[in-house]
A and B are shown apart, each in its own frame.
Chain A
Amino acid sequence: MIEQIISFADQVARYPYLQNALMAAIAVGVICGVIGCYIILRGMALMGDAISHAVLPGVVIAYMLGMNFFIGAVITGVLTALAIGYISQNSRIKEDSAIGIAFTAMFALGVVLITTMRGSSVDLWHILFGNVLAVGRTDFYITAGIGLFVLLAVFVFYRPLLLSTFDETMAKATGLPVKFIHYMLMLLLSLVTVASLQTVGIILVVAMLITPGATAYLLTDRFPVMLGLSALFGVISAVAGLFFSVVYDVSSGASIVLVASALFALAFFFSPKQGLVFRFFRSRTADQSV
Chain B
Amino acid sequence: MARQDTIDVRELSVHYHGHLALKNINFSVDKGQLIGVIGPNGAGKSTLIKAILGLERSKGEVSLFGSSVKAFRKQISYVPQRNMIDWDFPVRVKDAVLMGRYAHIPWYRLRSSKKDRRKAEEALDKVGMIEFADRQIGELSGGQQQRVFIARALAQDADVFFLDEPFVGIDIKSEEIIVRLLHQLRDSGKTIFVVHHDLSKVEKYFDHLILLNQELIGAGAVKEIYTPEFLKKAYQGSAAVLDDKDGMVVVSQ
Q: Which of A166, A167, A175 has the most CB of B within 10 A?
A: A167
For B99, the chain A residues whose CB sits under 8 A away are 159, 162-163, 166-167, 170
Contact with B along A122-161 (1 / 0, CB 8 A): 0000000000000000000000000000000001111110
**How far apart sit A223 and B70, CA to CA, in the bound complex (Å)?**
30
**How far apart sit A222 and B80, CA to CA, in the bound complex (Å)?**
22
For B86, the chain A residues whose CB sits under 8 A away are 41, 166
A-contacting residues, B168-187, CB 8 Å: none
Query: Given A160-B107, A175-B103 in contact, is the A169-B84 Cβ separation under 8 Å?
Result: yes
Query: Given A156-B107, A159-B102, A163-B102 in contact, is the A173-B76 Cβ separation under 8 Å?
Result: yes
Please determine whether A217 and B90 come into contact, CB atoms closer than 8 angstroms: yes
Interface presence of A226 (CB below 8 A): yes
Please determine whether A220 and B90 come into contact, CB atoms closer than 8 angstroms: yes
Interface presence of B105 (CB below 8 A): yes
Please determine whether A167 and B85 come into contact, CB atoms closer than 8 angstroms: yes
Interface presence of B242 (CB below 8 A): no
**How far apart sit A226 and B76, CA to CA, in the bound complex (Å)?**
31
Please determine whether B55 and A172 come into contact, CB atoms closer than 8 angstroms: yes
Query: Given A159-B102, A169-B80, A223-B90 in contact, is the A175-B136 Cβ separation under 8 Å?
Result: no
Interface presence of B53 (CB below 8 A): yes
Contact with B along A251-266 (1 / 0, CB 8 A): 0000000000000000
Interface presence of B74 (CB below 8 A): yes
Rounded to whole Å, the gap between the CB of A77 and the closest CB of chain B is 25
**Residue in chain B with minimal CB distance to A155:** B110
For B110, the chain A residues whose CB sits under 8 A away are 155-156, 158
> B-side binding surface: helix, strand, loop or mixed?
mixed
For A174, the chain B residues whose CB sits under 8 A away are 73-74, 76, 78, 102-103, 156
**How far apart sit A173 and B50, CA to CA, in the bound complex (Å)?**
9
**Residue in chain B with minimal CB distance to A37:** B90
For B84, the chain A residues whose CB sits under 8 A away are 167, 169
A-contacting residues, B87-108, CB 8 Å: 89-92, 95-96, 99, 102-103, 105, 107-108
Rounded to whole Å, the gap between the CB of B194 and the closest CB of chain A is 15
**Residue in chain A with minimal CB distance to B73:** A175
Please determine whether A170 and B70 come into contact, CB atoms closer than 8 angstroms: no
Bin chain B's interface residue count: 20 to 34
Pick from A166, A172, A173: contact of B91, CB below 8 A: A166
Please determine whether B136 and A173 come into contact, CB atoms closer than 8 angstroms: no
**Residue in chain A with minimal CB distance to B98:** A159
Interface presence of A3 (CB below 8 A): no
Interface presence of A221 (CB below 8 A): yes
Bin chain A's interface residue count: 20 to 34
Rounded to whole Å, the gap between the CB of A260 and the closest CB of chain B is 19
For B74, the chain A residues whose CB sits under 8 A away are 174-175
A-contacting residues, B142-196, CB 8 Å: 156, 162
**Residue in chain A with minimal CB distance to B153:** A170
Please determine whether B107 and A159 come into contact, CB atoms closer than 8 angstroms: yes
Please determine whether A221 and B136 come into contact, CB atoms closer than 8 angstroms: yes
B-contacting residues, A182-231, CB 8 Å: 217, 220-223, 225-226
For A156, the chain B residues whose CB sits under 8 A away are 107-108, 110
**How far apart sit A225 and B90, CA to CA, in the bound complex (Å)?**
9
**Residue in chain B with minimal CB distance to A273:** B136
Please determine whether B90 and A221 come into contact, CB atoms closer than 8 angstroms: yes
Query: Given A160-B107, A169-B80, A175-B74 in contact, is the A222-B95 Cβ separation under 8 Å?
Result: yes
Pick from A155, A166, A169: contact of B55, CB below 8 A: A169
Please determine whether B95 and A169 come into contact, CB atoms closer than 8 angstroms: no
Query: Given A159-B105, A163-B102, A174-B102 in contact, is the A223-B76 Cβ separation under 8 Å?
Result: no
Rounded to whole Å, the gap between the CB of B67 and the closest CB of chain A is 13
**How far apart sit A226 and B90, CA to CA, in the bound complex (Å)?**
8
Rounded to whole Å, the gap between the CB of B111 and the closest CB of chain A is 10
**How far apart sit A169 and B50, CA to CA, in the bound complex (Å)?**
9
**How far apart sit A99 and B216, CA to CA, in the bound complex (Å)?**
40
Where the two chains meet, the residues of B that have a C-beta atom closer than 8 Å to any C-beta of A are 50, 53, 55, 70, 73-74, 76-78, 80, 84-86, 89-92, 95-96, 99, 102-103, 105, 107-108, 110, 136, 156, 162
Nearest 9 interchain pairs by C-beta: A221-B136, A173-B78, A175-B73, A174-B103, A223-B90, A159-B102, A169-B80, A226-B90, A172-B55
Where the two chains meet, the residues of A that have a C-beta atom closer than 8 Å to any C-beta of B are 41, 155-160, 162-163, 166-167, 169-170, 172-175, 217, 220-223, 225-226
A–B pairs, 16, beta carbons within 8 Å: A41-B89, A41-B90, A158-B110, A166-B91, A167-B99, A169-B50, A169-B80, A170-B80, A172-B55, A173-B78, A175-B70, A175-B74, A220-B90, A221-B136, A223-B95, A225-B90
Taking A163-B99, A166-B96, A172-B55 as given, write out 20 further A-B residue pairs in contact, using a Cβ cutoff of 8 Å, ordered by the A residue number. A155-B110, A156-B107, A157-B107, A159-B99, A162-B99, A167-B80, A167-B99, A169-B55, A169-B78, A169-B84, A170-B80, A173-B77, A173-B162, A174-B76, A174-B102, A174-B103, A175-B74, A220-B90, A222-B91, A223-B90
